[in-house]
Amino acid sequence: MRLNRYLAACGLGSRRRCEDLIAAGRVRVNGEI
C-alpha cells in the first residue's frame, strides 16, 4: 500500500495533501524521514 493512501485512510487528510506532507519531509516512518 502506498504511504500517502495509508495516511489518508488514517484520517490525516486527502491523498494529495498526504503526498505534499511526505514531499516536504513532515512524515516519519520508523524514526526516519
Q: How far is CA 4 from each of CA 10, 19, 22, 31, rounded to the nearest angstrom?
A: 10, 5, 8, 17
Pull the grid cell for residue 18: 498526504
Which residue range forms the structural domain that includes residue 25? 1-33
Contact by Cβ (8 Å): 4, 15: yes
Q: By C-alpha distance, which of 24, 33, 30 is closest to 13? A: 24
Per-residue pLDDT tens for 1-33?
899 999 999 999 999 999 999 999 999 989 887
Q: Identify the pLDDT of residue 33.
A: 74
Q: Identify the pLDDT of residue 20.
A: 96
Q: Identify the pLDDT of residue 32.
A: 83
Beta-carbon neighbour count of residue 22 at 10 Å?
16
pTM: 0.76
User: How many domains does the chain contain in total?
Assistant: 1
Q: Identify the pLDDT of residue 25.
A: 94
